[in-house]
Amino acid sequence: MRKTITYIISIVFAGAAALALAQNPAQQTPPGQTTPGQQAGRGGGQPAPTPPGPNPNSQYRLGPDSFPQEGVPKGEIRGPYTLPSTSGAYPGTQHTYWVYVPAQYDPAVPAALMVFQDGQAFKDEKGDMRAHHVMDNLIYRREIPVMIGVFVNPGRTPEQPEPNLQEWGDRTTNRPTEYNTLDDKYARVITEELMPVLYKEYNISKDPEMHGIGGSSSGAIAAFTVAWERPNHFRKVLSNVGSFVNLRGGHVYPEKALASEKKPIRVYLCDGRNDNRGLRNGVYDEKRDWFYQNVRLMKALTQKGYDVNYSWSMNLHGQKYGGMIMPEMMRWLWRDGPVSTDVYDMVERSFRQPAANKKIDADAKAIQGNWKPVKAELAGQPMTDAVLNSISLKLDNGIYEVSVGGNPDKGAYALDSTTTPKSMTIIGTDGPNSGKTFPAIYELEGATLRICYDLSGAKRPTEFKTIAGTQLYLVTYNRKSE
């Protein structure tokens, strides 16, 4: 019996490997289906006759990454702001835009940038993309870098109405001219009008590899054109049902890509077999076939050696499928962000916290040193002095070392003093707890440290007590005199 208890205590700080329960987190369920959106950027294209059977959009549902999730810090959408025409590209027009600022944005650290065309649709709470929620979740899990998001609407005169989900602006704004024309005018709007304002207000990286741009339909070809014309400003392109068709000559991009020197841009193309297919009044025009032209562009970019990815589904023209896979598109586009493989890097191994919580914690310094357990109980039963006297604990800059009768156990720990009670996360790296993670709570008062955690590793305790029939463990340490 004493041997068994000694083994449990020997790994008291980092958890008991023999008792740890491996559990998979429960899947999140999206709160209901999304409100059906209107088709994006019709631009004169006619929907093709669809095959018999279910609606081609019937299989698409937004996943958990497109909804707010419990515990995930929420970014802020600021605006709307008005961007006046200053570059001379489109005199007399103005662009409305909003800025997404993630909770983890730190003005002292350069952030990445992602610019979405048809901004009103990409940020709408009832729309199909909900890009701000996607960024919240992916930034928190370190799947994309901390980034500023910009949602910019097409240009319009002050007298023209603002685009909305029912009318994206093809009939009421400068959208067709700005988005579908193959010149550098819209690129000038983004790089000469918008970017200087953003650089003034936010600490955004000047590295073009840290700049992405995206859109749907005409907004997608507009995003591609900005990167094509200004690769020294933008090098990542997200294209959903891109209008690479002959609205204003966009069907020639495959030939342009093959004939031109390869540009340093990365592209994700997304489209569906039931997009606008170029059938008008019974006559087929391949130059107005969205799906065909997207596939052509993919093949040309691939042949030229571009970093290109693509996904073809069954969807109609719109954002139903693109919204569903947007988290994956963002992961792929931003997959080469910096990463640390240091096993003791508890910052890298923790979810990204709001920038305000990054300041150095006074407890992180005060908790360091050598500790001796003076009192402990497991499931309501006290541990003997003989067992406690055989244990010593050292905490040093996020690294712990436990010794029980000379037998070592080593790992890492991270503190969060902003929670109530204060939280500690313990990760074993060497010894009986290697690879195990245990959430705990702690209390530090002068030379006394109390730690409580569940030996099963299933759930972080909420109070400093143990209960019979559980695996809750509570230990009190006194600081050893040097």
Give the burial class of 263: count Cβ atoms within 10 A of its Cβ; 0-12 exposed, 13-18 middle, 19 or more buried. middle
Q: 35: pLDDT confidence band, cut at 50, 70 and 90?
A: very low
Closest among 308, 354, 332 to 102, alpha carbons compared:
354
With 90 as the cut, is the pLDDT of residue 20 above it? no
Q: Is residue 453 part of a domain?
A: yes
Provide the pLDDT for residue 48. 57
Specify the 3-state DSSP secondary structure of 459: coil
- At 47, the pLDDT band (50, 70, 90 cuts) reads low
Which of 298, 333, 368 corresponds to the end of one domain?
A: 333
Are 190 and 321 found together in one domain? Answer: yes
Say yes or no: 302 and 403 in one domain.
Answer: no
Residue 317 has pLDDT above 60, yes or no: yes
Domain endpoint, select from 317, 333, 349: 333
- The verdict on residue 349 lying in a domain is no
How many CB atoms are closer than 10 A to CB 448? 13
The reply to whether 239 and 174 lie within a common domain is: yes
Shared domain check, 377 and 244 = no
Confidence category of residue 287, pLDDT binned at 50, 70, 90: very high
Contact criterion met (CB below 8 Å) for 384 and 462: no
The per-residue pLDDT for 18 is 26
- Contact (Cβ atoms closer than 8 angstroms) between residue 211 and residue 234: yes
Report d(CA 100, CA 131) in Å as an integer.
9
**Residue 7 counted as domain residue:** yes
Of 312, 45, 275, nearest in space to 180 by CA: 45
Q: Are residues 9 and 85 in the same domain?
A: no
378: containing domain: 2-22+359-479
85 and 229 share one domain? yes
Regarding whether 156 and 105 lie in a shared domain, the answer is: yes
Q: What are phi and psi of 365, to 5 degrees?
A: -85, -40
Domain-located, residue 423:
yes
Domain harbouring 379, CATH code: 2.40.128.280
Mean pLDDT confidence for 187-216: 97
Number of H helices and number of E strands within the chain? Answer: 12, 19
As for how many domains the chain has, the answer is: 2
The arithmetic mean of pLDDT across residues 93-111, rounded, is: 96
Same domain for 314 and 389, yes or no, is: no
Scored b (16 or more CB within 10 A) or e, 367-399 reads bebebebeebbbeeeebeeebbebbbbbbeebe
323 & 364 share domain: no
- Within a domain: residue 471? yes
Question: What digits encode the pLDDT tens for the residues 434-460?
Answer: 888 888 999 999 999 999 988 888 889
Averaged pLDDT of the chain: 88
Which pLDDT score is estimated for 23? Answer: 28
* Alpha-carbon separation of residue 120 from 116, 169, 229 (angstroms): 9, 11, 24
Q: Other C-beta atoms within 10 Å of 464: how many?
A: 15
pLDDT surpasses 70 at 16: no
239 within 8 A of 214, measured Cβ to Cβ: yes
As a whole number of angstroms, the distance between CA 122 and CA 219 comes to 11
Residues 254 and 394 in one domain: no
Tens of pLDDT along 374-387? 999 999 999 899 88
Q: Within this chain, do residues 14 and 145 fall inside the same structural domain, yes or no?
A: no
| 32 falls within a domain | no
User: Which stretch of 114-118, 195-199, 472-476 has the lowest confidence by average pLDDT?
Assistant: 472-476
Cα–Cα distance between 64 and 290 in angstroms, integer? Answer: 29
Strands (E), 290-345: 307-316
Say if residue 322 is in the same domain as residue 419: no
Instruction: Note the pLDDT tens digit of each residue in 104-153.
Output: 999 999 999 999 999 999 999 999 999 999 999 999 999 999 999 999 99
Q: Which of 291, 316, 333 is the last residue of a domain?
A: 333
DSSP output for 68-114: --TTPPP-EEEEEEEEE--SSSSTT-EEEEEEEE-TT--TTS-BEEE
Question: Which pLDDT score is estimated for 325?
Answer: 98
- Establish if 138 belongs to a structural domain: yes
pLDDT of the residue at 482: 63
| Angle (nearest 5°) at CA 331 between 313 and 457 | 115
- What's 83's domain CATH number? 3.40.50.1820
Within a 13 Å sphere around the CA of 175, how many CA atoms are in the beta-carbon half? 31
Grade residue 19 by pLDDT with cuts at 50, 70 and 90: very low
Give the residue from 92, 90, 112, 265 showing the smallest Cα distance to 185. Answer: 90
Residue burial 266-302, b: 16+ Cβ < 10 Å; e: rest: bbbbbbbbbbbbbbeeeeeeeebbbbbbbbbbbebbe
Does a structural domain hold residue 435?
Answer: yes
